[in-house]
Amino acid sequence: MRSLHDFKAYLFDLDGTVYLGPGLIPGADTAIASLRADGRRVMFLSNKPISTRASYAEKLTRLGIAATEADVLNSSLALATYLERELPGARAYAIAEAPVIEDLVAAGMRIVNEPLEADVVVASWDRDFSYRKLDHALQAIRNGARLVATNPDVACPMAGDVYVPDCGAIVAAIEACSMRPVDVFAGKPSTLMADLALQRLGVAAADCLMVGDRVNTDILFGQNAGMGTALVLTGAGRLTPLEEGPCRPDFVLESIAELTLV
Ligand SMILES: [Mg+2]
C-alpha cells in the first residue's frame, strides 16, 4: 500500500476540499505549501462552470494559496478542449453563461442563436435557462446536432445547506424532451478532464493523488483515470456513507490538513 506522500502530483477539488464557501478549510494553506516546497505538483479541479478560472485563482490567492489561472482546470475548459479536437470550428447553440461561451469561442467554436444552424448543443449551468432555450435545444437535436455538456452535477451546494439547480438538471430536461442521451459530460468523473490535467502536469496518472469530498465525482474521477484517491470529510463526503458509493477511495482523511508534509 502506498502512503499519502508517495505521489508526484496532487489534484484538489475546490469546494468542500480546499475551502467551504467563503472560508479556507483550516490547514489547507499549510498542507499545499508543504507539498509545493517539496517539489510536488499541485492542480485545482472544479466542475463548476459559472465562474472563470481566473476568479478561482484569485480566490485561492486571497485565501493564502498562491495560484494562477493555469493552476486551475474546470469542466468548461475540458469541454472546449474536447470540442476543439472532435468538432473543430463547429457551430454551437449554447445554453451556458459567459465563462463557458468565452472558452468555446477561444476554442474556435462559432456561437449561433438559430437552433437549426447548430452542429452541437452545449449545455451547462445557465441561470437564465428557459422554455425557449429548451425548445431551441430540442429543435437543434432533432435536426441532427449533438448534445454535450460541461458537468453532470444536478444540484450545487451553496452556503447554509442550500442547493441550487446545476448543469445536470438542465441536461436531464433536454434529454427528456429529445429522448436522446447526452453524448459527453466533460467534467469529473470524465476522463476528458483527467487527460487535460495529466497533459498539463506532465506526470503519469499513477503518480497523481486526486483529493476530493465527493465519492461519485471526485473519487470516481480519480479511479476512472488510474490515479490514487483520497476522500476528505470536510464537504459532501461527510454526508455520503462510504458504503453507498460505487467505489472506495484509497485514503479517507478528516481534512486536507492531513496531507501536510513535515
Ligand atoms: Mg467538492
pLDDT at 238: 60
Strand duo 9-13 + 19-20: pairing: unpaired
77 C-alpha to ligand 1 centroid (Å): 18
175 C-alpha to ligand 1 centroid (Å): 26
Catalytic residue numbers? Answer: 13, 15
Q: What is the CA radius of gyration of the chain?
A: 18
Judge if 9-47+188-259 and 77-185 fold alike in CATH terms.
yes
Average pLDDT, rounded, for the chain: 94
pLDDT at 21: 84
pLDDT at 236: 67
Specify the range with the lowest mean pLDDT, choosing from 123-127, 165-169, 244-248, 257-261: 244-248
Specify the range with the lowest mean pLDDT, choosing from 13-27, 80-94, 126-140: 13-27
Q: How confident is the model at residue 179 (pLDDT cuts 50, 70, 90)?
A: very high
Q: Which CATH class is domain 77-185?
A: alpha beta
The DSSP-derived string for 135-149 is HHHHHHHHTT-EEEE
Helix H or strand E segment including 188? none
Q: Give per-residue pLDDT as tens, 182-216.
A: 999 999 999 999 999 999 999 999 999 999 999 98
Are the C-beta atoms of residues 236 and 36 closer than 8 Å to each other? no
Are the C-beta atoms of residues 121 and 140 closer than 8 Å to each other? yes
C-alpha cell at 22: 467563503
Residue 202, exposed/middle/buried by CB under 10 A (0-12, 13-18, 19+)? exposed
215 C-alpha to ligand 1 centroid (Å): 10
Specify the range with the lowest mean pLDDT, choosing from 131-135, 221-225, 239-243: 239-243
CA angle 73, 77, 83 (to 5 degrees): 145
Q: What is the average pLDDT across 78-102? A: 98
Q: How confident is the model at residue 262 (pLDDT cuts 50, 70, 90)?
A: confident
CA angle 233, 238, 242 (to 5 degrees): 95
Per-chain residues with Cβ under 5 A from ion ligand 1: 13, 15-16, 213, 235
Domain boundaries, the chain: 9-47+188-259, 77-185
Q: What is the average pLDDT across 154-175? A: 90
Specify the range with the lowest mean pLDDT, choosing from 3-17, 80-94, 153-167: 153-167
Whether the pTM exceeds 0.85: the reply is yes
pLDDT at 46: 96
Ramachandran assignment for 212, one of left (phi > 0), alpha (psi -120 to 50 degrees), beta (any other): beta
At the topology level, CATH places domain 9-47+188-259 in Rossmann fold (3.40.50)
88 C-alpha to ligand 1 centroid (Å): 31
Helix H or strand E segment including 12? strand 9-13
Q: How many CB atoms lie within 10 A of CB 117?
A: 14
214 C-alpha to ligand 1 centroid (Å): 6
pLDDT at 2: 84
pLDDT at 213: 92
Q: Which among 2, 41, 1, 5 is positioned nearest to 261, based on CA atoms?
A: 5
Q: How many CB atoms lie within 10 A of CB 81?
A: 19
